[in-house]
Chains A and B, each alone.
Chain A
């Protein structure tokens, strides 16, 4: 059938509008981060790096950036490890309560963030762990591990079932087969799961705000700047966060997509 040109242009236009809708606030925030005027008004004032200098010199921001990096790196590591082990358990073994097991694992993202944040706060306060860096790590791990598991599970579902048996058949013990066959096969999913969970943790505000205490992460500091005073340094810091998250997400997408391409490539 001949594609309808009008429909095609309409759909392209629609897609374009969606992108504008999503990205224009971010784009404006980036533009205003270089604007010398204190208030975001048009016409723009002169070009300046003043706001970047302000946050560069702010020890609070540095402290928060450090915390955020430590947290997101730790969260990504733990969540990806947990995601892999749960996905592999699901792939490898059959057991009675498997639907329940899967439901429990996939539950956290369905809980409203505020509820989860409050529950975490109450729980950590009760056992005396609130306000620590590792309490944010624990909470973010709970939140992100299901994503890791979903990504790696998808990859495992694309694996030829006899691949692991083939490794045993060639003399690999179960552990060696896991290390030499399953993990290399899942590598693209593991990398992208690492990047995505890091990005989610880096961006996450609600839980971090409730339980971070004095160990503030970047999103928490942003809110404090916004509530304290209207200041374009928020735009500067926002641009930095946006860049970090987008880099991670794009890496994740690229790793997954290039791998799929080479495998689909030449068959026969």
Chain B
């Protein structure tokens, strides 16, 4: 891995008895947009702080451009961070905030000022350069924080849930600005978030973490359609997970016997289950077909409607199967309107075996 910008090599981080990050191995390439995603307490922020030099790994090595960074203090690294709280200096105005990093690097006053103003212009807040931080709006503060981090022209930018304080429509606008910036600058972004929509919308690659471990690394689409394990399947998207015993295996597909019957599941590649094993598969809520009549054959479950969640053009239906398990189905609102679901006692969900994704037992 010659051109990896960042390497985590068997990195462990412990706080007393608590292990925040457990034996982590992964690399980040130059110019990549990587999102680290997971529920709170999964170790994603600790990972980011180790990159910034704010935490030192307990074991293993963090390397940047081949250099071991473990003992390099934060202020000697060029790894600016955009903070969740933004951490703008309240006693400095917008321009002075942006100048701070340059000043620490010994850039003279005139050059500093010019660069800071250029960056504020670039992020479309040039007119607020001399304004007090407290008089700026959330979005404007966000841009000041970005300018402050980018003004030193780093090769890597770290972002710790920077959009979590903004309201929904502003988040969308900031997302497109961040992706545009990242492409224009060609630098590496490492973006920590708990929000799937932010990670999937922006990142080239997503690292999903759970309890200090990496649960899966991959492109957003792969993670969404082909989760590696139950945790990822539950964390990402609206997935239905069905477990059972492998009845038979043909190499290309398996027959899984669960409490709701037998289901045929195509095998993607890696997994090679044999009859008798425990196994699970995932069928995404939007890949399920809904009908009022019992399909002639194939994977199917008979359900009754519990509730529906309407959020615009797509509706999520919560169904209950005979054994009491919940089943989620996402369909277009206009399709649902044609079905007159309320007056149906039973519905049948069915799906193509090719659409189901085998995840093994865990």
Contact = CB atoms under 8 A, between A and B. Distances in A.
Interface of A: 160, 162-163, 165-174, 176-177, 180-181, 184-185, 187, 262-263, 265-268
A263 B148 contact: no
Contact of B87 (A166, A171, A180): A166
B307 interface: no
Contact of B80 (A170, A180, A181, A268): A170
A166 B83 contact: yes
A167 B81 CA distance: 10
Contacts, number: 73
A177 B53 CA distance: 15
Interface stretch (B59-67, B131-139, B293-301): B131-139
A262 B83 contact: no
Contacts of B89: 163, 166-167, 181, 184-185
Contact of A171 (B90, B104, B138): B104
Given A165-B74, A171-B75, A171-B105, A265 B91 contact: no
Given A169-B54, A172-B104, A162 B87 contact: yes
Given A265-B135, A267-B134, A169 B81 contact: yes
Given A160-B85, A169-B80, 11 more contacts: A165-B54, A165-B87, A166-B81, A169-B79, A170-B80, A171-B76, A171-B104, A172-B104, A181-B89, A184-B91, A263-B90
A interface, by DSSP: helix, strand, loop or mixed?
helix
A64 to B, nearest CB: 39
A262 B75 contact: no
B101 interface: yes
B90 A185 contact: yes
Given A160-B87, A185-B91, A263-B90, A167 B100 contact: yes
A9 B3 CA distance: 77
Nearest to A166: B87
A184 B74 CA distance: 21
B193 interface: no
Contact of B152 (A165, A168, A171): A171
B120 interface: no
Given A263-B134, A267-B134, A173 B87 contact: no
B208 interface: no
A191 to B, nearest CB: 13
Contacts of B80: 169-170
B52 interface: yes
A170 B104 contact: yes
Contact of B134 (A173, A181, A262): A262
Contacts of A187: 91
28 contacts: A160-B85, A162-B84, A162-B85, A165-B74, A165-B87, A166-B81, A167-B89, A167-B100, A168-B54, A168-B73, A168-B74, A168-B75, A169-B75, A170-B100, A170-B148, A171-B76, A171-B104, A171-B152, A172-B75, A173-B73, A173-B75, A176-B104, A184-B89, A262-B132, A262-B134, A263-B134, A266-B135, A268-B137
For the complex of A and B, the 3 pairs showing the least CB-CB separation, nearest first, are A171-B104, A166-B87, A170-B101
A168 B104 CA distance: 10
A169 B74 contact: yes
Contacts of A263: 90, 134
A168 B89 CA distance: 13
A263 to B, nearest CB: 6
Contacts of B101: 170-171
A162 B75 CA distance: 14
Contacts of A160: 85, 87
Interface in B90-114: 90-92, 100-101, 104-105
A185 B87 CA distance: 12
Contacts of B152: 170-171
B347 to A, nearest CB: 46
A176 to B, nearest CB: 7
Nearest to B137: A268
A73 to B, nearest CB: 26
A261 to B, nearest CB: 10
A167 to B, nearest CB: 7
Nearest to B104: A171
Nearest to B138: A268
